[in-house]
Structure 1
Amino acid sequence: VKSMAPRPILFAMANPDPEITPEAAKAACPDVIIATGRSDYPNQINNVLGFPYLFRGALDVRARTINEEMKIAAARAIAALAREDVPDEVGAAYAGRKLRFGPDYIIPVPFDPRLIASIPVAVAKAAMASGVARRPIADLAGYAKTLSARLDPTASTLEAIAEKVRANPKRVVFAEGEEEKSIRAALAFLNAGYGTPVLIGREERIQETIQALGLHGAEALEVLNARLSDRNPAYIDALYARLQRKGILRRDAARMVNQERNIFAALMVALGDADAMVTGLTRSYSVALDQITRIIDPSPGELVFGKTLLIARGRTVFIADTAVHETPGPEIIAHITRQMAAKARRWGHEPRLALLSYSNFGNPQSAQAERVRDAVALLDKEGADFEYDGEMAADVALDPEMMKHYPFCRLKGPANVLIMPGLYSAAIGSKLMQKLGGGTVIGPVLTGLSKPAQIVPMDATVTDILHMALLAAHDALD
């Protein structure tokens, strides 16, 4: 190793004991690039990276043989994936390692879920081009999406929304543009074809982060410095007009526009300089919501609340309100129920709404459950064009066998929209599911604003931010 040229490359593939360990190789030559077959060292070369996906692509086009062209296509797809930004979820599976292209990451890790959507597509395409495919695939993009959905339960749920946004790209503001996760999410938004992302922050800081991360293509991202924008006079005028009778002087409005990125981003959306915004990494949910609602009003006749999507065991369930109303009264519960029925339909689901409590249809009796019963009575009085019933416990709402104990229940099947009796139960339940696993949780997704804005949790991943930016862009289609 010492006698080799600078930056030598070693593939020590004997398993479990490689011909030379990375420690020994680096001691002999600190700039060595080494790969082994071991999972406890960087750059694991494992046949699971190739064989399953090579066969998947070959089988899906009914290839007569696996030829050199298909093998080369698989290798190039693996190499290309190594240069892409790695989702946080992949790094988390590897003890939180920062996986980015370099000497310790020259090849994707074996359990990267993106492999299934990259390699089989390349193999299938090569099989068709080389004439060995007996059942060509006309829509390779659709094929890739189908493959992604096998491992990612959110893929199929969000794909219809993504297609609409790609057909009508939107300009979305990432208010915390200096944050690493925001930059990566903005680049993913751009690469996905969802529209034009705009990062709010100091350009030199953002470019330094891009260089440090080695993000290819990120130099094309648009950056706006709130302090230097030529739109500031108009934003200050608009903010002062809204808040002058709420204790805000003009100089206060100027300071807020120059220094508060959520205020600046919300003004961009409110005044038509952007279609939507996403924020939340550096402010608590309540603070971010307060800043946004200073600028953006509720839609006429609608309430602002949060809905959460739970995707588990092949089912998608909406939960509301998970963000705003602490102890809603019957009128608010009924109003949220109506809005959620409309939102579920817009997302392609025929709504069956369960108004939840810890009790089932009056057993046991309590003042808290009474609020839910009164909401059901209001809906009965006003009429509705969707299935709903309550009050009922979550197990009855979701389990057909439990529901049989209440043959009078008006739901014709398990509920796909759960209306929670209060913010305590809604927030606790959705966060428990998010942290303990067993399903994929997206949200809270803000609903009811007259202009699209979304807030991510402070611990959001890049994928979380991308999903919320996509949903904000989708809201802008209305």
Structure 2
Amino acid sequence: YPNQVNNVLGFPYIFRGALDVRSKVINEEMKLAAVYALADLAKKPVPEIVNLAYGQDNIVFGREYIIPKPVDPRLLITVAPAVALAAMKSGVAKHPIENWEAYELQLSKRLGLDNTLMKVIINKAKTMPKRVVLADAENLSVLKAAQEVLQDKIATPILLGNREVIQQILDENSIKLPGVEIIDPYLPVAEEDKERANRYSELLLIRRQRQGLNKAEAQKIIRRRNYFGSMMVGTGDADAMIGGMSRNYPDTVRPALQAIGKKDGVQKVSGMYILMTRFGPLFLADTTVNFNPSAEEIVEIAELSAKQVEKFNIKPRIALITYSNFGSAEGEDAKKMKSAVQLLKQRNPSMIVDGEIQAHLPFNMELLKENHPFSELAEKGANVLIFPNLSSSNIAYNLVKEIAGIEKIGPILLGLKKPVHVLQLGSSTREIVNMIAIAVVDAQMSQ
């Protein structure tokens, strides 16, 4: 119900603030601090992730919203510090906080900044679970993820790999996957699987026969899991595929392009990562595919990224990143990104996009407003960064991820007719579950 008050909104954050300053009591000053913090938060703009969780476009302070929603990720880092400060001022804190910025960062890490976004995506996936092919099912993390998405009704997994190897891993780790289909494309046993392999090879031959593929080669490569899984998705026998744990990125993307193909009008696919920062979800592209895209290709990357961000019910605010700020420096990359911004605005008049701009400015509103008040990003900054080439995007992504210890989601492959996503080598069970959930939501939106 609107404005329902329960323990979720108060006690956890009051206790957190009290514990963090080693207070043995919770006095009236601390309770009032929590109340004022909640009241102040309710009047601030609501994060897009909260709108998504409640299926609304724009929750604003008013009759239906006078207190924050329980899923608001700002609650912990707003209420707990207010309570802690009140404890210090009222003299009951045994361990005063000296570095508030470090304390808020600690709270953010404790919360897990990706929890809210992924909770919403997973809940959306559960509304209409899809069949997801797992092309690397001879992997323990993949099988654990399969068990989790099956139990939580996020997706119906289909396992590709050596049946005996998969079964051995399941038995050794007490993993239960009742009713889950296991297919060995290399050595199909069931008549249905043999017939399916023959049908897939014939369809692949029809699609690729004028690109150098012959019948014998088609029958051979369809035994590879990435080709078999991609054909399952391409023919509608499955809704999405997750691969990449045992193959490099191109070896997973290539079969998907050949078996499924690009969306109508898309010239090149691209890849996007999500970083869960203190500013909220930050989307980076293209981080995986295009080495040195042209201005026109940058435009397409930005448009594909914007559409993916909108699937999460988040309004994209796009910055085209380079070393120059609105013509302050010359060079090929600066010229390319400036041209791309102009093309984007021509093709998408309502899109919030600006550049060319240096990477720090979209996150420093004061500096941006002072020096470039005309910018479309001056009010709220950017949540989507488009880079001039693969080298700069990949370096930026890996530096931020490792040095800042930021949670990541991805890479998400953009531009295919049907969802196929490629895992990083060594992806954890949690990361695989996240990617499966995103693939399910993509499949829902593709219908």
Scaled by the length of structure 2, what TM-score is found?
0.72
**AA paired with 2:183?**
L
Post-superposition CA distance 1:280-329 (Å, at most 9, x none): 01111122111221211111123411111111115111111111111111
Q: 2:269 aligns with which of 301, 304, 308?
A: 304
2:172 matched to 1:218? no
2:355 matched to 1:395? no
1:477 aligned counterpart, secondary structure? helix
Q: Which residue of 1 aligns with 2:406?
A: 439
Name structure 1 gaps, 5 residues minimum: 1-54, 63-140
Q: Which residue of 2 aligns with 1:207?
A: 167
Mapped to 1, the partners of 2:207 and 2:375 lie a distance apart of 48
Q: 1:181 aligns with which of 137, 141, 147?
A: 141
Q: Using a 3 Å threshold, how does the CA distance of structure 1 residues 57 and 475 change in structure 2: closer, same or farther?
A: closer
Q: 2:128 aligns with which of 153, 159, 168?
A: 168
2:294 matched to 1:332? no
**AA paired with 1:223?**
I
Q: Higher Cα Rg: structure 1 or 2? A: 1
1:464 aligned counterpart, secondary structure? helix
2:439 matched to 1:472? yes
Identity, in percent, stands at 32
* Comparing 345-354 and 163-172, the one that deviates more: 345-354
1:250-329 → structure 2 map (5 Å cutoff): 250-258=215-223, 260-302=224-266, 303-329=268-294
Q: Is the 8 A contact 1:207 1:219 kept in 2?
A: no
Q: Is the 8 A contact 1:310 1:439 kept in 2?
A: yes
2:369 matched to 1:410? no
**AA paired with 1:390?**
G
1:383 shift after superposition: 4.4
1:66-465 → structure 2 map (5 Å cutoff): 151-215=111-175, 217-226=176-185, 227-228=187-188, 229-230=193-194, 231-258=196-223, 260-302=224-266, 303-404=268-369, 405-411=371-377, 412-465=379-432
Q: Is the 8 A contact 1:433 1:441 kept in 2?
A: no
Mapped to 2, the partners of 1:436 and 1:454 lie a distance apart of 25
**Paired residues, what number?**
341
Mapped to 2, the partners of 1:314 and 1:196 lie a distance apart of 34
Mapped to 2, the partners of 1:381 and 1:210 lie a distance apart of 54
Greater RCO (Cα-Cα under 8 Å, separation 6 or more): 2
Mapped to 1, the partners of 2:109 and 2:361 lie a distance apart of 29
Mapped to 2, the partners of 1:306 and 1:362 lie a distance apart of 28
Q: Is the 8 A contact 2:141 2:429 kept in 1?
A: yes
Q: Is the 8 A contact 1:356 1:393 kept in 2?
A: yes
Q: Is the 8 A contact 1:306 1:322 kept in 2?
A: yes
Q: Is the 8 A contact 2:345 2:351 kept in 1?
A: no
Mapped to 2, the partners of 1:316 and 1:142 lie a distance apart of 15
Q: Using a 3 Å threshold, how does the CA distance of structure 1 residues 395 and 58 change in structure 2: closer, same or farther?
A: closer
1:223 aligned counterpart, secondary structure? strand
Q: Is the 8 A contact 1:149 1:156 kept in 2?
A: no
Q: Is the 8 A contact 2:305 2:414 kept in 1?
A: no
1:471 aligned counterpart, secondary structure? helix
Q: CA RMSD in A?
A: 2.6
Mapped to 2, the partners of 1:439 and 1:249 lie a distance apart of 46
1:384 shift after superposition: 1.9
Q: Which residue of 1 aligns with 2:100?
A: none
Mapped to 2, the partners of 1:170 and 1:341 lie a distance apart of 24
Post-superposition CA distance 1:55-109 (Å, at most 9, x none): 999957x9xxxxxxxxxxxxxxxxxxxxxxxxxxxxxxxxxxxxxxxxxxxxxxx
Scaled by the length of structure 1, what TM-score is found?
0.67
**AA paired with 1:355?**
L
